[in-house]
Structure 1
Amino acid sequence: MSIDHRRLGRELDLFDSDPLIGAGLPFWLPDGAAARHEVESYLRELERRNGYQHVYSPALGKRRMYELSGHWKNFADDMFPPMRVGEDELVLRPSLCPHHALIFKARGRSYRDLPLRIAELGPMYRAERSGVLGGLSRVRSIALNDAHVFCAEDQAADEVAAMLRLMREAHAALGMGEVSYQLSLRGPGGKYGGNDESWARSEAMLRGALSQAEIPYADALGEAAFYGPKIDLQVADPAGRQWALATVQIDFHQPERFDLEYANANGGRSRPVMVHRSLAGSMERLFGHLIEVHGGAFPPWYAPVQLAVLPVGADQDEAAASFAGAALAAGLRVERHSSGSIGARIRDAAGRKIPYVAVIGAREAPAGLVALRLRDGRQLDPMPGAEAIALIASAAAARGKELLP
């Protein structure tokens, strides 16, 4: 039977919703927030190590900005209506790219600064119709792992190839499951910016990068962004519907619209290429997929609770508290549970998909030992508490699916 993230996510206390907040506006509960925070931290560090600089930008902007970017003309039906504040009309942003274009423009740029890689995990909003909303897969409030690279045209192909490599690294760590790639192109009757020449150049760059990375893909007519073609990484839900998670797009349109320039090596001015990129898409859609792929049993490194500490009886409470404190100080996400029978507590930890359970009984406590039970049913011989903590920390640091390093 296929797993539906909407049911399992609520059973595992990862997320929920409320009619008073509204449809398509889920909230993250502590366990879901812990897993999401770990994934966000990993993605930011992966980006930082690969030359990205992180920024923050507001989730609002003037309507004029979206008219300039082309979003208002091509995307207005999917945007929330403007809010009048004094003389301004402010709009909840449907994407982060106009803000990042203006961050590029905020300072004088030289060819020596390129490629300039700007990243942000930021909020954006889409006025999705109620009939298409569902769980975390289709929402109105979106936290997007986004980035924009501003580069010279002869740097763009290498940047796209590097992005594809980063995507594969991130997806392997997350345990993404089966994915497919599509090259999303213009289709008849669509509303698109730019000209035929820029679209052809963008398409050729993306095809070249896919070929260089030896990634099989399918063409998808009519699925392009309004400003350019894109590579979409697709995943399927239990109903067989395809969702785009990660994406790479080459854009000549917005640099032109925002009059972006840099000083070139000849002392003149040149227009940068803007490459849009998301390694993992929105946190909502990503976790909808990850819940289903892993059946809620996330890899140890981003499991909401990595370790449950269970004293068998009251006499072991002090030893359990000391061990749990040491695990917490070592950076693990740990809970200690003393109420109820030991069997019921072990079953509860299994139902919550906690990777490691440390049982401390009358034999273990005096010797400073713990008996580790693994989520897959294995039971390890009693070991010193410090050794158990090191084992769990090592498995988490490996960022794989294995419970033992």
Structure 2
Amino acid sequence: MCEETAMNDHRKLGRELNLFDTDPLMGAGLPYWLPDGAIVRQALEDYVRGTERRAGYRHVYSPVLGKRELYEISGHWAHYSEDMFPPMELGGEEVVLRPSLCPHHALIYRSRAHSYRELPLRMAELGGMYRSELSGVLGGLTRVRAIQLNDGHIFCTPDQVADEARAALALIREAYAALGIRPVRYRLSLAGEGGKYVADPEMWRRAAAVLTEVLESSGVEYEAVEGEAAFYGPKIDVQIADRAGRESTLSTVQVDFHQPERFGLQYIGPDGAKHRAVMVHRSVIGSMERAVAHLIELYGGAFPAWLAPTQLVVLPISEAERPRAAALVQCCLDQGLRAELAGPEHGTLGARVRAARLVPYQAVIGAREAANDEAALRLRDGRRLNAMPAAEAVARIRARVEAHDTELWREARVLASEGQH
């Protein structure tokens, strides 16, 4: 078990698979993404953006800098400044690298007047934020100083907050099913003792009551833990674990009455009067860094087809089949699939098959396939399929990719004998 854990440690495997790396001149906790890693990250980003759009979110972009005054208003400066980078002098003002996106989203909401008819307003962003983590806690992609966060904020009326928090939790569970992630537990993170938390007992009671109702109505077993809340309110933390059993938080749902008060977030009610909005913070898959780290270890680099850097490798048996193999690669690229050609110059067919062992699909093109415009597919799990028209093979692979399916193939009836090729 220890040997398997070490082999699948994302810090080791991620470098061996050319997904990411670090450089001392960039600094600790500041990894860079190599081309294959960038593909995995982009596929993950595209998936979560599409999922959010279907759930009624609108996407925004906001700057990674803000005045110190912004974080004084939000409460970050009083309660979180030890984890923030020092202010920078700029034109007689102090600006700060943001430690979170919520103050920016509060300002975007506040920039326009809102009616109750517009609510809930669901806002999402894949944006950068920065945490001044100590060197001793940094590691690979799981604990970094530059974070690309899948963040979102829902601005709603008090009577909408439970439904919106419940829908956010359901969205997290939907994404986990597509990614093959299994949480180890759900945690209701509450305030602890000390000055770390905003002093407003009634606010904490209201927010905790909402999240408790959400968890119980969703049929989720959970554990209440004190001292793990955000400084401004309680949260639902979805906990994952790596192969060594180390637990961390990937996704969250938070109910926030504090920042709407601090920023004066309002809406016009049916009575024509101004009312205080409520913020629901939620992150479906957390940071791109931590999510990819977990997926590397979960799959050992053998990602589901929709996440894989290369989805199909085409293997002509000899040079005579290269033109047909190249045409198949181009057909895949035209269909939005990530395909590569591995010709005889890369070794024997067996050697090329082994080199592409992490690629979900391999298309072997022999003389018969070339003559009939067919492809004989091999699946990464060892199955071999009957030769089929190349266009059909591409369409079936594309269907699996577009469905974000973790299964490589759904039809056992097309399995062929082990002796083919």
- Give the structure-1-normalised TM-score: 0.98
**Alignment partner, residue 268 of structure 2:** 263
| CA distance in structure 1 between the partners assigned to 2:304 and 2:178 by the alignment | 9
- Please, what is the CA RMSD of the aligned residues? 1.0
Amino acid at match of 2:326: A
**Alignment partner, residue 115 of structure 1:** 120
Aligned residues of 2:20 and 2:34 also touching (Cα < 8 A): yes
**Alignment partner, residue 373 of structure 1:** 378
Aligned residues of 2:183 and 2:238 also touching (Cα < 8 A): no
**Could you report, residue by residue, the CA deviation over 1:25-81 in whole angstroms, capped at 9, with x for unpaired residues?**
111111111111111111111111111110000011011101110101111111111
Which of the residues 340, 351, 357 maps onto 1:344?
Answer: 351
Correspondence 1:239 to 2:244: yes
| CA distance in structure 1 between the partners assigned to 2:402 and 2:101 by the alignment | 31
Amino acid at match of 1:401: T
Which of the residues 19, 22, 44 maps onto 2:24?
Answer: 19
| CA distance in structure 2 between the partners assigned to 1:159 and 1:373 by the alignment | 44
- Percent same amino acid among aligned pairs? 59
**Could you report, residue by residue, the CA deviation over 1:332-378 in whole angstroms, capped at 9, with x for unpaired residues?**
1111122222222111101xx11001111222212211211110011
Aligned residues of 1:175 and 1:400 also touching (Cα < 8 A): no
**Alignment partner, residue 235 of structure 2:** 230
**Alignment partner, residue 9 of structure 1:** 14
Shift of 1:178: 3.9
Which of the residues 58, 66, 72 maps onto 2:71?
Answer: 66
| CA distance in structure 1 between the partners assigned to 2:106 and 2:387 by the alignment | 57
- Give the structure-2-normalised TM-score: 0.94
Amino acid at match of 2:238: L
**Alignment partner, residue 284 of structure 1:** 289
Which of the residues 281, 290, 304 maps onto 1:299?
Answer: 304
Runs of 4 or more above 6 Å deviation: none
Q: Report SS of the residue matched to 1:274.
A: strand
**Could you report, residue by residue, the CA deviation over 1:145-204 in whole angstroms, capped at 9, with x for unpaired residues?**
000001111110011111111111011001113431000001112421251111100000
Aligned residues of 1:231 and 1:249 also touching (Cα < 8 A): yes
Shift of 1:93: 0.4
Q: Report SS of the residue matched to 1:232.
A: strand
Which of the residues 32, 48, 61 maps onto 1:56?
Answer: 61
Q: Report SS of the residue matched to 1:300.
A: coil
**Alignment partner, residue 308 of structure 1:** 313
Correspondence 1:402 to 2:407: yes
Shift of 1:239: 2.9
Q: Which moved more, 1:236-245 or 1:265-274?
A: 236-245
Amino acid at match of 1:234: Q
Shift of 1:298: 1.0
**Could you report, residue by residue, the CA deviation over 1:116-156 in whole angstroms, capped at 9, with x for unpaired residues?**
11100100010100000001110001000000001111110
| CA distance in structure 2 between the partners assigned to 1:43 and 1:399 by the alignment | 11
Q: Report SS of the residue matched to 1:223.
A: coil
| CA distance in structure 1 between the partners assigned to 2:326 and 2:258 by the alignment | 59
| CA distance in structure 2 between the partners assigned to 1:264 and 1:193 by the alignment | 28
Aligned residues of 1:194 and 1:253 also touching (Cα < 8 A): no
**Could you report, residue by residue, the CA deviation over 1:188-236 in whole angstroms, capped at 9, with x for unpaired residues?**
1242125111110000000000011000000111000000000000011
**Could you report, residue by residue, the CA deviation over 1:290-319 in whole angstroms, capped at 9, with x for unpaired residues?**
111111111111111100111122111111
Amino acid at match of 1:271: R
| CA distance in structure 2 between the partners assigned to 1:138 and 1:246 by the alignment | 15
| CA distance in structure 1 between the partners assigned to 2:346 and 2:300 by the alignment | 27
Which of the residues 388, 394, 403 maps onto 1:389?
Answer: 394
User: In the comparison of the two structures, how many residue pairs are matched?
Assistant: 403
| CA distance in structure 1 between the partners assigned to 2:126 and 2:12 by the alignment | 27
Q: Report SS of the residue matched to 1:308.
A: strand
Correspondence 1:140 to 2:170: no
| CA distance in structure 2 between the partners assigned to 1:166 and 1:266 by the alignment | 33
| CA distance in structure 2 between the partners assigned to 1:171 and 1:320 by the alignment | 36
| CA distance in structure 1 between the partners assigned to 2:316 and 2:87 by the alignment | 57
Which of the residues 68, 92, 95 maps onto 1:90?
Answer: 95
